[in-house]
Homo-oligomer: A and B are copies of this chain.
Amino acid sequence: MRDFTFFNPTRIEFGKDKEANIGQYLKEFGVDSALILYGSERVKKNGLFDRVATSLKEQGITYAELGGVVSNPLISRVRDAVKVTKENNLQAVVAVGGGSVMDSAKAVAAGAKYDGDVWDFFVGKAVVEKALPVFSIMTLAATGSEMNMAGVVTNDETRQKYPIVSPLLFPKVSVINPELMASVPRDYLAYSAVDIFSHCLDLYFTASYLPEFSAELIEAILKTVMRTTDALLKNSDDYDARGEFAWAATMALNGNTFVGVEGNTYDTHMIEHAMSALYNVPHGAGLAVVLPAWLKDIKNQMPERFERFADKVFDVAGGDAGIDKLTEWFSAIGAPVTFAQAGLPEDAVDPIAENAFGNAKLWQMDTMYPQERIANILRLAV
């Protein structure tokens, strides 16, 4: 076990209709006004926005609203939201949506208490010293953003997809109501499953020291994701499966799997963020392309762990068989595993590798991942 600090103060409120209490949750933190941030107009049409707004009003909490946060969320929209928040002197940010909205809400929370440009936090020009409290109501489970201190946003001018990280950005309360996710389209369910896999496998296959308990926890998360994804593709109204899937997503990135671990890096994310930044591929779809290719590239570095993965997660013998099974399962649930399936042209390899190498430099992984190695990994998926 390596030294670690574990800290996660986010409160999770899980269950049917819990979003109707959001006003009370804000009130507990002394909040009198808030920005409601959301993505597509779907949350208006399906009544969710109204339930949230009504709950705030019942507690005497005033609000402004801003929609239009897109998948692979943009810093331009975050800047809009910071402006609205500052102009109205709002005291909190309520994210109603998936990972994009939650990640954007964190950036807004930091930006609203900062005089400079919010992008400064993403490129290391400023450190978050103050932030508004963030609350979230999840409509898509995948990123784990509801219970961690990070957010990822794309700069639409520079085509950089970068993270903002601060303990001040843990949401105060996150609502997980599986019923709100019942209408997630099948492709986005698949992308979400892949995203959770990548959060787990980036850790599992890069850690130079991985405690047995962490390995078992990750394996339990992966098996839960597979079991519940298969169940949801058969019956999208399976409440328990939806709930277990959501909790697996949360557990994959709320710190528990990282306990006592040494030397882990975010390899597939480093590469995929470039795909999303340049070609606006859905994050999970890009990861489905990158993950099997990356596994093929690194499989000889730690053969025992690949054998263990194959055995524990897919009940097959041998590291290659494990990668094959993973790739088959991604295909079976409808996730793309090649450039063509993801709608990417072959000649995208070099631009993606170049952009990803920028991430590698920022994340201090450039020695391990020269641009040519990244290109070689990508070619395994062409």
Cβ of A116 within 8 Å of any chain B Cβ, yes or no, is no
Contact assessment for A247 and B227 in the assembled complex, using a CB-CB cutoff below 8 Å: no
User: In the complex, are the beta carbons of A6 and B1 less than 8 A apart?
Assistant: no
Q: How many copies of this chain sit in the oligomeric assembly?
A: 2
Q: Mark A1-20, 1 if CB is under 8 A from B, else 0.
A: 11111111101111110100
Which residues of chain A (174-225) have a CB below 8 Å from chain B? 178, 211-213, 216-217, 220-221, 223-224
Are the C-beta atoms of A224 and B213 separated by less than 8 Å?
A: yes
Which residues of chain A from 218 to 273 have any CB-CB distance to chain B below 8 Å in the complex? 220-221, 223-224, 227, 239-240, 243-244, 247-248, 251, 256, 259-260
Contact (A220, B216) CB under 8 Å given A7-B12, A243-B1: yes
Partner of A223, one of B6, B18, B216: B216
Q: Which of B5, B178, B260 contacts A243 (CB 8 A)?
A: B260
What is the total number of residues of chain A having a CB less than 8 Å from a CB of chain B?
A: 37
User: In the complex, how many angstroms separate the beta carbon of A316 from the nearest chain B beta carbon?
Assistant: 19
Residues of B within 8 A of A5 (CB): 11-14
Q: How far is the CA of A12 from the CA of B18 in the complex (A)?
A: 29
- Interface mask (A323-334 → B, CB under 8 Å = 1, otherwise 0): 000000000000
- Min C-beta distance of A166 to chain B, whole Å: 15
Tell me whether B14 and A247 are in contact (CB under 8 A): no
Q: How far is the CA of A4 from the CA of B247 in the complex (A)?
A: 11
Closest to A178 in B: B1
Find the B residue at minimum CB distance from A239: B1
Nearest-neighbor residue (CB-CB) of A6 within chain B: B12
Name the residue in A2, A4, A213 with the highest tally of chain B Cβ atoms < 10 Å from its Cβ. A213
Q: Can you name the residue of chain B whose Cβ is closest to the Cβ of A217?
A: B220
Q: Is there contact, CB below 8 Å, between B7 and A14? A: no
Docked pose: A15 CA to B18 CA in angstroms? 38
**A9 pairs with B9, CB closer than 8 A:** yes
Closest-by-CB residue of B relative to A209 is B240
Chain B residues within an 8 Å CB radius of A259: 14, 247
CB neighbours (8 Å) of A12 from chain B are 4-7
Q: Which residues of B sit under 8 angstroms from A211, Cβ to Cβ?
A: 240, 244, 247
Provide the residues of chain B in CB contact with A248, threshold 8 Å: 213
Partner of A6, one of B11, B18, B212, B221: B11
Q: How far is the CB of A285 from chain B (nearest CB, A)?
A: 26
Please, which residue of chain B has its CB at the minimum distance from the CB of A259? Answer: B247
Q: Which residues of B contact A15 (CB under 8 A)?
A: 2-4
Besides A2-B15, A4-B15, 12 new A-B residue pairs in contact (Cβ under 8 A), listed by A number:
A3-B14, A3-B16, A3-B18, A4-B14, A5-B13, A6-B12, A14-B259, A211-B240, A212-B224, A213-B247, A216-B216, A220-B220
8 contacts between A and B (CB under 8 A): A1-B14, A3-B18, A212-B224, A213-B221, A216-B223, A216-B224, A243-B260, A247-B259
Sorted nearest first, the 7 A-B pairs with minimum C-beta distance are: A3-B15, A1-B243, A216-B220, A7-B11, A9-B9, A6-B12, A213-B224
